[in-house]
Structure 1
Amino acid sequence: MTRPPRLSPDEVSAALRDLPLWSGDTDGLRRSVELPTFGDAVAALVRIGFAAEAMDHHPDVDLRWRTLHLALVSHSAGGVTELDLDLARRIDAALPA
């Protein structure tokens, strides 16, 4: 499977305008989300896990009580690629508004 190339700083900045809950740069994207309960956070993590597995592209996740800290980077490309942007969109869709 061919991985997409690393995005330029301008491409990442433009993409982040459409992903307002995310921050980052060419080295990685980040988002934290606080859920109402620990169980809600675990359920959200499971939904994210299935979305990531379907893409064969996996986030770094840190679960602290009811808060998920998410980080996306395409290690094989050495930075952010279209895969990370696609996964960020899928994560946003898997989380409550």
Structure 2
Amino acid sequence: MKKLTNSEIENKIENLTDWEFYDNALHTDFEFDNFKDCMSAMNRIAFECEALNHHPEWTNVYNTLDILLTTHDAGGVTELDFKLAKAINRIVEVEE
């Protein structure tokens, strides 16, 4: 998978609600009503990650989930990161 240029990333991220590009990765965070809802979302996202064979760097503290996407093999952000980010937004049902 080819690493995208900063210009390509900036163009693509405009169509991706609640994600930012910095430190050579796509970043977002979500706040849920409680820990159970957060863990439920993480489990649903995990199934999509396995299907794509692409896994996020993420942290969870109580009801918050921070996600970082980058393709380590490519040394930066690729189309696969955008594909996973869109799937995550569908799973979490991000409002546009």
**Aligned equivalents of 1:44 and 1:12: distance in 2?**
26
CA offset digits 1:8-43 (Å, max 9, x no partner) = 011100111001210014710000000011000000
**In the TM superposition, what are the counterparts of 1:1-97 in structure 2 within 5 Å?**
4-25=1-22, 27-97=24-94
Percent identity of equivalent pairs: 34
Q: Distance in 2 between matches of 1:73 and 1:53?
A: 15
RMSD: 1.1
When the two structures are superposed, what TM-score results if normalisation uses the length of structure 2?
Answer: 0.94
Unmatched segments (≥5 aa) in structure 2? none
How many aligned residue pairs are there? Answer: 94
Gaps of 5+ in 1: none
